[in-house]
Amino acid sequence: MEILGHLKERRTVRTFKPDPIPQQILDAMFEAAMWAPSHANAQPWDFVIVGRQTRARLLEVFRVKADELLADPDLPPPKRAGIMSLRENFGGAPFMVAVVSRLPADDLQRIENPLSAAAAVQNLCLAAWGAGIGAVWLSVGASPPARTILGIKDGESVVALLALGYPAEVPPAPPREPYTARLRELR
């Protein structure tokens, strides 16, 4: 498949089938992540696989935030449905991983490391999608309680907490602005 078509077909998935992801596919996803661009090829990321006990603790943290969001009567119905699905054991995703940006050694790495780790997340999610695996990129891992649960050191950052699995349903594509709406040229 051409890359642009693959990019346009990828979706954020919030409900998953319970089927486990074969190790061969997980290995390919992590291999793809390792090929993300990074400043001076530093590869400043680590992957923290989230086991059952850690997942349960993270779910408690997520539910607190989800309940705050769900209390808003103006929350749009599609967003409400997505949060409700994830509130129930992260949508039933059979696999979770945190992507952590390593401790920076200087000001440039303070900027570059999280950006590079985000590129690794993108590669991982695209490789997953190519294998029929859906993902949702959660920011709850960056919260102080989640950082403690994940054992994140001062200076490190949780770029993403990913819930992954075979999609129970694939949502339609959300609208996108044309790139020309975000393009400017300097002369």
Residue 70, domain CATH: 3.40.109.10
pLDDT one-digit tens code per residue, 142-151: 999 999 999 9
Considering the chain, what is the average pLDDT of its residues?
96
Confidence (pLDDT) at 159: 97
Residue 26 has φ and ψ, to the nearest 5°, of: -60, -45
Neighbours of 139 (CB within 10 A): 12
Checking if the pLDDT of 123 tops 80, the result is yes
Domain count, the chain: 1
Residue 185 lies in a domain: no
* Rounded-to-integer distance, Cα 45 and Cα 38, Å: 10
Residue 173 lies in a domain: no
Checking if the pLDDT of 53 tops 60, the result is yes
Confidence (pLDDT) at 6: 87
Residue 174 lies in a domain: no
pLDDT one-digit tens code per residue, 73-114: 999 999 999 999 999 999 999 999 999 999 989 999 999 999
Q: Which of 41, 52, 65, 69 is nearest to 139 (CA)?
A: 65
Residue 187 lies in a domain: no
CA 69, 73, 76, 79 torsion: positive or negative?
positive
Confidence (pLDDT) at 1: 54
Residue 183 lies in a domain: no
Name the residue range of residue 129's domain.
Answer: 3-168
Residue 130 lies in a domain: yes
Q: Which amino acid is at 95?
A: F
